[in-house]
Structure 1
Amino acid sequence: MSPPPAIHPVQRKRRRYATLLLALTLVAGVGGVQVPSASAATVGSTELSTGWAFRSANTVTDPGATISQVGYSTAGWNPVSLPSTVLAGLVANNVYQNIYVGTNLQSVPDLTGQNWWFRGQFTAAAAAPDQAYWLRFKGISYRAQIWLNGTQLDADAVGTMAVHEYNATNAIRPGALNALAILVTPPAHDCKDLSFCTVDWNPEAPDMNAGIWGTTLLETTGPVALRDPYVKTVLPLPATNAADLTVYVDALNATNAPVTTTVSATITKAGYPTVSVSQNVTLAANERREVTFDPAGYPQLHVTNPALWWPYQFGSPELYQLSTSATVAGATSDTRSIDFGVRQFTDYRSTVNGTSFVGYKVNGQNIFFRGGGYVWDMLQRWDTKTNATHIQYVKDMGLNTIRLEGTLGNEELYDLADRAGIMIMPGFVCCSAWENDNTWTIEQEQVANASLDSQLRALRAHASPFMWNYGSDQPPTAAHLSMYKNTAARLHWQNPTVDNVATWSNANAGMKMDGPYKWEPPVLWWDTTQSGSAFGTTGEEGTEAPPPLESLQKFIPAADLWPIGATWNYHAGKPRSVFDNITVFTDGVNKRYGSTTSAADYSRKSELQNYENSRSFFEAWNSHEYTQSFGVIFWMLNNAWPSVHWNLYDYYFKPAGGYFGSKKANEPLHIAYDYKTRNVYAVNSTLSGRSGLTATTTVYNVPNLTQAYTTTVPVTAAANAATQVLTLPALTGLSTTYFIRLQLRDATGAVVSNNLYWYSTQPDVLANKKNWYMTAVKTYANLTGLNSLPSNPNLATSVTRTVSGGQETATITMTNNSPTNIAFFLRPEITAGNGGNEVLPVNYSDNYVSLWPGESTTIRATYQTSDLGGQAPHLRTRGYNVPTTSIPVP
């Protein structure tokens, strides 16, 4: 049943508010059938972001009816721009400072034991005949009382992820100042409410993200408003030379009398035929009705040779535009537009090691999803640049997917993903009230279903979401799963779904979640007898990932930087969880690379370990694609605050070992080494096959670089597939630490993939001891030979720069002029000033590269001039055995 337009279905005690709702939807001059004027009403949408203040309700004695009067004094309140959580507002007002540094967050008191008033004033559009005014709240956490100009619109708006909307026509003051007052009740700690939850990823926010976190909108329409347009696209698979488009849009009657409206939809794309459809609809008083245009009734919605939306590395993410409008008596009453993609995701099942796993296809082609788990800032602060950088980094690492485990509602991220061809994997969060649904109250059932309704409406319009998870670690109860699926069907959700993503709780989940969540040596990913190895489909798994020294120095005070102690641990996982330390990772560093003696030494070695770990992680999953593996999510993509646990890039967007290891593994055409079997694979992640290739494998002793073995074989890399090209034989007489160099060349001899491994005659050996978050290591590889590499001061560097439109590209050339020594693990960086920090965000065409004697390479770095902060750019170059140098970028 569709809800009346003045209140969201999650809200309780509807009968109690029936009189109020009727009063709010009354418009002047109604009596029988509504006869609208031909004069056009104002149609528009204004974000109410400025002119707000907030304060603890403990210090406010006036009621909402008074606070929501124009002119009410907010002297002593904190000014705030919306959206904002309570803590974000307090930090913006310097009530709490540097809360991400050291253990300062511990000094912020619990902010959830009190309510919080948010108050703002705005000017409404002038009155026009048949003008309707709507207030729309995209996110309030967790419940609220809402007042407008002394009138209570809602006594109990509940649900962080539920959109709350009100027809405020009779309470608004057209053409004049209006006042809104919102009394927010925070969510409970320990994820006991159906709100946002970061589980054990970091400390809980002291306010549990209470506040007005989503956009607040004043929308103006005529007597009929439109909501939630959506285009369902169906292809005649396996053919893709046509598409059936079905257009849906909700029409709402803002009046208490019947209204007849003409609803129209137009689909456009430059270079393609325009499609237009319309129909007349008579809406009963206050009715909300879905209007449908399908190919059966509108043959023009069957289109031929459409431009398809393809994910990254598969093709271009082409988008169309849908424009919808409602007219009444010849006047425009409302308009809504969206961009959408013509594409179709389907799923299939394959059995591996006795378990059924889900795989996906896009437009009839197998698609191996690979990505990371995204989380927004702990205080839910983001902006266009932040969102764009996440998408940019995901693409740069060769990933094609972002998983949203409960971090739903950043709609700009969806828009950017649509345009970039990045797939979105959304769903509800684990380990919280969302999964303790066998004890839900009636209100919680309503909140959960309203949350799904709101979030699916936002997601379904986008090309990027390819599926939906109803649950994470555990599936919902049968009754709630049925409720969810009925809602998805009612909303025409066309993408595949899974009940949850963990086979340990549901044998038919289709995805596994067997860990690990702590560091493991690279061999684990390849050994398919191990939990977490590269077989099947995984919803998440990952390792600790301390950021490089430059980032560590930003959030760990100098006195706490070494040795590793309580401050480091506070920036690991949630305190008092099994993730509140990085001991397992540190043991790996010390026992494989040699005992660390300082924060700088630790960082230098941990970068090596992060690189080899993330590279092998994705290589293993990619090399088994479609035969043993079907999709993978690294836990996590990024962090909610400066962290030493779970990320491919750190909070400050500094790309480091994990980032560049992932980038190497996921390059479009890649050559990879299997630590378990010694097989070498060519992985082609595009839809174009490559022939005439050759693969060369060479083994070198360390530190003298004497060649112990080499072979070259011809390679044909089939499209969208992994191909085993050779097996490295067991070798004897090697140095304890040695190099394996893999190179893939095209028919001209140009290197298309260059990959260097460092390993040991004493390999990593896993123990039999394991649990849900890790497998113990019995024997560690001896990689200390890297510390014996001769110092190489003979690296020559040069750099040039081009500037265009505020963006700079530095072209860096590095040449190893040593006749005998490798330049190992080189890290060129563009810094803001001589000796300054690396300019961030930044993209490099490659990094952490190694050069043999006489070799040269060219790397491009791209960044924004504004991110230099007025400093002149410099090129800083360092390496594992190369002294640090810095030269100006001309």
Structure 2
Amino acid sequence: MKFINIQIYTILLVLNVLSLRIYSQSKISLNSSDIVWKLKPQAEVGQDSLKIFTSNYSDTNWVKAVVPGTIFNSYVVSGVEKDPNFGDNIYQVDKAKYDRSFWYRSEFSVPENFTKDIIWLNFEGINREGDIYLNGKKLATLNGMMQRGKFDITKLVHRNEKNVLAILVSIPKQPLNNYGSPTYISSAGWDWMPYVPGLNSGITDDVYLSNTNKITIVDPWIHTDLPSNGRADLEIKVDLKNSSAQNQEGILTGVIMPGNITFSKKINLDANGLTSIKLSKEQFPELAIQNPKLWWPNGYGDPNLYTCQFTFKIGEVVSDAQKVTFGIKKYTYDTEGGVLHVSISGKRVFLKGGNWGMSEYMLRCRGDEYDLKVKLHKEMNYNIIRNWLGSTTDDEFYEACDKYGIMVWDDFWLNANPNLPLDIHVFNNNVVEKIKRVRNHASIAVWCGDNEGVPQAPLNGWIAENIKTFDNNNRHYQPCSNTGNLSGSGLWGNKDPRFYFTKYPAAYVGTGDGPGWGLRTEIGTAVFPNIESFKKFIPEKDWWPRNDMWDKHFFGQKAFNASPDNYDKSITERYGKPNNLEEYTTKAQLLNIETNKAMYEGWLDHMWEDASGIMTWMSQSSYPSMVWQTYDYYYDLTGAYWGVKSACEPLHIQWNPVNNSVKVINTTGTDFKNLNAEAVVYNLDGKQVTKYNQKAVVDSYSNTATESFVIPFYSNQKDLAFQKNVVASSTDGGNTRDITDGDSNSRWASKSTDDEWIYVDLENEYVVNRVVLNWENAYGKEYKIQISTDAKNWTDASIIKDGKSGLQTISFDEMKARYVRMLGVKRGSGWGYSLYDFKVFGAETNTNSSDLNPVHFIRLKLKDAQNKLISENFYWRGTNMKDFTELNKLPKAKVDVSTKVVKENGKYVVKSKVSSPSGIAFGVHIQVLNDKDGTQILPVIVSDSYFTLLKGESKEITIEFDEALLKNGEKPLVKAVPYNK
């Protein structure tokens, strides 16, 4: 019996391969890599417009076109325009040359093996509108970049001579936001990319010929349901188009792999009609799959995928075939506590991801490059990408997300402004097309209607109905990207790391649902690149100091939301004023690590209380710039990349810089028992400060944040307010000095009005960063902590909007103060404000300087029960937590590198051991260079960088890159450079 099953399996496999081979022979690309395309402005074609449809037309003065691609990019590739990435070249382009209609023209022959009944001409996307002509006859107009075209050209094509294909492409109407939609809205310029001449108009997706018989398969759709994770019920919907004038009968067959699940159905088709077929387990019990291999997001399990090969035959002749890839999963959603939560196959998923503004600002990202971009997201331990404004439309993006377990929050093409597209019906048609094109992808997790707004009527209702009709409500529809059980969007500029841990990391817009961590779909910071990348796009004369050319690449007023001035200030405050570009870029990477790691760790620290996810703005770079990226435009891995990669580890140990708690974060589908958590504190000389070291055995359950211990930095900290004088606006119980007497049983109370205050005179000026209030039941619901040096001019240090009774710790950035005040805004009871204690702590009073340096290190380790290292984390901390300038006094360090290089499957795999024999090597940056010319090899996948080695320590590093990046005789050279070089 086993032998017979193997025989049947082999025969089916052979038939499957044969049908695939037949189908692949029946599809011929018409992209510019296969035929020649030319283009020319419509206005310059003039009276030749009829002649261009003839095969003897001379197009020698036309520009060679890149298809798929944009008109402006074709001129760049042809050398007519200077490199738009460099300097301010793109700002110097005459927009009028491209902001108009263009003709595309090509000639093709019909392959001899096109022997089936119908020859089809297929378009996958034109931005924004295209009139399509074949041999002088207009076939149709495609409108909207998602609109597909499939045209029967059997009677129009010449079998024995060239065929002329011409497309008149028109640019989107302006303003793009939202009148020009559906289109790539940011093409008209944003605060992270310049205006693109021609607004990215062109033939922006694949063009190809296909050959079938009379019956074609249209948009097969596989819906998966999970009664339990031990069984999947598949429901298959397929449309069959009969293009003949006669009724037809044939057999639809499907083969699902793995599992070799085969089904077939005889179907009668009406002449010139479309027949919808629905297949379910009631008809085909084999569509109930036992113990399916589920598709899981990155970190929660393997992203298992299935394929279904559809074939339609009339008799023994294959009329059409299509192959669909899908994943078995079930998305569910809840809004417990006013926060959107996403679950998959019964498991809540903490969302860790980033926004893609565009895959590339001139739509030059194609094919395998998507695999690289998404793989880098997997390497950063992300599990979701937000396709912001639906700006990425290529199939390869979704295929890569399926492959690497990256969910997609998928927007449509609307942004904030309360206006409708000029043609709402075209917009709606493109919505339907998008859903149909991508709905089989397991990665689609959320549909979103509008960026920072709600789609105007009637579009909001139409989108919701389209999702219900064409996606079976399989995925949640979120009308607005930052409200409706979400916590807003922004901020987009860097903050002190403690900001992300402190109630509440405020959003910039969209906070109508109240404060909280919640699900934040946008938050970010400027991210300066490494010096090698900077020099690729900024002219040498503009390298230093900061100038207007930097702003052209969005480090200035053009990207004011990124707060570049504050970014500058933070580098100087924390690491010392840079004297040149090299110092600036080096110190910037430390800031990048700090800020980006803290964003994710701040949310993870509050996982499910009330945080459910965070998406940084942005996780990849579409234009060479200094803002909002992890890896940069050239795929160099900045400090932001490494901060994110560390924070987003599926099983992760982390430190809270506000309360010094150390937690084990488990964003996996697995429970872990008897883990060993450890914290070791080192001074700048590399010696342990053992009084702060901690250890604990921890059980870490799936989807939890579990506290291991608290590092006792505050254990002997002095209360600066102890027994100091106090002044209040009123007293209606107790005495003012009762809040600084050290007795938590005595209290002060104000009159029963909202606008009351009380302040402590510290008697001297201190740098303060924390206040502890011990409230009686008559507490402050809303209040401010303010500081002053003269008791007349007050500055807000912190604003509390959800105060509670009991002990409350309020941390804030270090500020110089002699006077510290609680200013009541709104009482939490019918009584006044009543405090047992008012304590103030300052930066320089944390510990005795004899046992802890002003800057010191924290190394966390998490090991399993067998003592295998699972997670390691490293921080630098200051007694003044905004001042790390002592790092600049570290003795110079030299590291040793030993390397072994092998070739595997078209890749170089480089294994290096990096050692520090003589002292601390802080922030070791890893690069791979070409040994012949010293240039950086990119892109590369690197296991670690910006790590710190103590004296005598070493680390194993693995580096991988494509073999094609090196030519004959060239070899990779691993460069390891510490901050204290």
Which interval holds the TM-score relative to the shorter structure? 0.7 to 0.9
Match of 2:192 in 1: 201
> Which one of the candidate residues 379, 393, 396 is aligned to 1:412?
396
Match of 1:254 in 2: 243
Alpha-carbon spacing, 1:591–1:128, altered in 2? closer, same or farther (3 Å) = closer
1:95 alignment partner, SS class: coil
Match of 2:746 in 1: none
2:597 alignment partner, SS class: helix
Alpha-carbon spacing, 1:212–1:581, altered in 2? closer, same or farther (3 Å) = farther
Task: Name the CA distance, whole Å, in 2 between partners of 1:875 and 1:130.
Answer: 56
Q: Deviations over 1:256-287 (max 9, x none)?
A: x24324251413223x24231323132342x3
Q: Deviations over 1:442-488 (max 9, x none)?
A: xx211211111111111112122122112221111242122112222
Verify: 1:280 aligned to 2:379, yes or no.
no
Residue 760 (structure 1) shift: 2.0
Letter of the 2:599 partner, please give it. F
Residue 66 (structure 1) shift: 3.2
Residues 91, 194 of structure 2: 8 Å contact kept: no
Residues 854, 880 of structure 2: 8 Å contact kept: yes
Task: Name the CA distance, whole Å, in 2 between partners of 1:514 and 1:425.
Answer: 15
Residue 339 (structure 1) shift: 1.3
Verify: 1:695 aligned to 2:695, yes or no.
no
Alpha-carbon spacing, 1:174–1:531, altered in 2? closer, same or farther (3 Å) = same
Larger Rg: 2
Task: Name the CA distance, whole Å, in 1 between partners of 2:551 and 2:41.
Answer: 32
Residue 399 (structure 1) shift: 0.9
Verify: 1:394 aligned to 2:380, yes or no.
no
Task: Name the CA distance, whole Å, in 1 between partners of 2:24 and 2:869.
Answer: 61
1:578 alignment partner, SS class: helix
> Which one of the candidate residues 89, 101, 106 is aligned to 1:115?
101
> Which one of the candidate residues 568, 572, 578 is aligned to 1:586?
568
- Listed as ranges, the matches of 1:868-879 within 5 Å are 868-870=966-968, 871-879=970-978
Match of 1:403 in 2: 386
1:484 alignment partner, SS class: helix
Match of 2:928 in 1: 830
Match of 2:299 in 1: 313
Compare 697-706 and 260-269 and name the one that shifted more: 697-706
Task: Name the CA distance, whole Å, in 1 between partners of 2:877 and 2:570.
Answer: 14
Verify: 1:170 aligned to 2:155, yes or no.
yes
Letter of the 2:889 partner, please give it. S
Match of 1:803 in 2: 903
Q: Between the two proteins, what is the percent identity of the paired residues?
A: 26
Match of 1:77 in 2: 62
Task: Name the CA distance, whole Å, in 2 between partners of 1:761 and 1:430.
Answer: 47
2:64 alignment partner, SS class: strand
Verify: 1:520 aligned to 2:495, yes or no.
yes
TM-score, with structure 2 as normaliser: 0.79
More relative contact order in 1 or in 2 (CA 8 Å, sep 6+)? 1
RMSD, aligned α-carbons:
2.3
Residue 824 (structure 1) shift: 0.5
Letter of the 1:447 partner, please give it. V
Runs of 5+ unmatched residues, structure 1 = 1-39, 764-780, 883-890
Alpha-carbon spacing, 1:831–1:130, altered in 2? closer, same or farther (3 Å) = closer
Residue 649 (structure 1) shift: 0.8
Verify: 1:477 aligned to 2:461, yes or no.
no
Residue 130 (structure 1) shift: 6.9
Letter of the 2:266 partner, please give it. Q
Alpha-carbon spacing, 1:438–1:806, altered in 2? closer, same or farther (3 Å) = closer
Letter of the 2:118 partner, please give it. A
Counting matched residue pairs gives: 804
Match of 1:377 in 2: 360
Match of 1:233 in 2: 224
1:802 alignment partner, SS class: strand
> Which one of the candidate residues 478, 490, 497 is aligned to 2:476?
497
Residues 406, 443 of structure 2: 8 Å contact kept: yes
Residues 223, 254 of structure 1: 8 Å contact kept: yes
Q: Deviations over 1:193-239 (max 9, x none)?
A: 11102243211211110100111122222112212112000000xx2
- Listed as ranges, the matches of 1:678-757 within 5 Å are 678-702=660-684, 705=687, 707=689, 709-729=692-712, 730=714, 731-733=846-848, 734-757=852-875
Match of 1:4 in 2: none
Task: Name the CA distance, whole Å, in 1 between partners of 2:249 and 2:451.
Answer: 43
- Listed as ranges, the matches of 1:116-135 within 5 Å are 116-125=102-111, 131-135=117-121
Compare 397-406 and 477-486 and name the one that shifted more: 477-486
Letter of the 1:492 partner, please give it. D
Residues 109, 161 of structure 2: 8 Å contact kept: yes
> Which one of the candidate residues 565, 571, 575 is aligned to 2:547?
565
Match of 1:553 in 2: 535
Task: Name the CA distance, whole Å, in 2 between partners of 1:517 and 1:466.
Answer: 24
Compare 275-284 and 850-859 and name the one that shifted more: 275-284
1:409 alignment partner, SS class: coil
Task: Name the CA distance, whole Å, in 2 between partners of 1:185 and 1:513.
Answer: 36
Residues 637, 647 of structure 1: 8 Å contact kept: yes
2:640 alignment partner, SS class: helix
Alpha-carbon spacing, 1:43–1:596, altered in 2? closer, same or farther (3 Å) = closer
> Which one of the candidate residues 89, 96, 118 is aligned to 2:81?
96
Letter of the 1:762 partner, please give it. N
Letter of the 2:551 partner, please give it. N
Task: Name the CA distance, whole Å, in 1 between partners of 2:30 and 2:544.
Answer: 47
Residues 501, 539 of structure 1: 8 Å contact kept: no
Compare 208-217 and 614-623 and name the one that shifted more: 614-623
Q: Deviations over 1:100-128 (max 9, x none)?
A: 11111112111443211101111124598
Task: Name the CA distance, whole Å, in 1 between partners of 2:905 and 2:688.
Answer: 48
Task: Name the CA distance, whole Å, in 2 between partners of 1:390 and 1:426.
Answer: 17
Letter of the 1:488 partner, please give it. I
> Which one of the candidate residues 622, 626, 634 is aligned to 2:616?
634
Alpha-carbon spacing, 1:130–1:47, altered in 2? closer, same or farther (3 Å) = closer
Residue 43 (structure 1) shift: 7.5
Letter of the 2:490 partner, please give it. G
Q: Deviations over 1:67-93 (max 9, x none)?
A: 222232211111223102011100110
Residue 289 (structure 1) shift: 3.6
> Which one of the candidate residues 943, 959, 974 is aligned to 1:845?
943
Letter of the 1:738 partner, please give it. H
Q: Deviations over 1:376-418 (max 9, x none)?
A: 1111112333112112211111111121112232101211222
Alpha-carbon spacing, 1:748–1:307, altered in 2? closer, same or farther (3 Å) = closer
Runs of 5+ unmatched residues, structure 2 = 1-21, 508-514, 715-845
Residues 799, 812 of structure 1: 8 Å contact kept: yes
Task: Name the CA distance, whole Å, in 2 between partners of 1:853 and 1:130.
Answer: 73
Compare 305-314 and 730-739 and name the one that shifted more: 730-739
Residues 192, 625 of structure 2: 8 Å contact kept: no
Compare 641-650 and 483-492 and name the one that shifted more: 483-492
Task: Name the CA distance, whole Å, in 1 between partners of 2:379 and 2:122.
Answer: 36
Task: Name the CA distance, whole Å, in 2 between partners of 1:534 and 1:279.
Answer: 57
Letter of the 1:872 partner, please give it. K
Q: Deviations over 1:278-308 (max 9, x none)?
A: 23132342x3343221223333322222221
Match of 2:603 in 1: 621
Q: Deviations over 1:345-374 (max 9, x none)?
A: 1111121xxxx2211111111111211112
Match of 2:434 in 1: 455
Alpha-carbon spacing, 1:578–1:164, altered in 2? closer, same or farther (3 Å) = farther
2:523 alignment partner, SS class: coil
> Which one of the candidate residues 279, 293, 303 is aligned to 2:289?
303
TM-score, with structure 1 as normaliser: 0.86
Residue 176 (structure 1) shift: 3.8
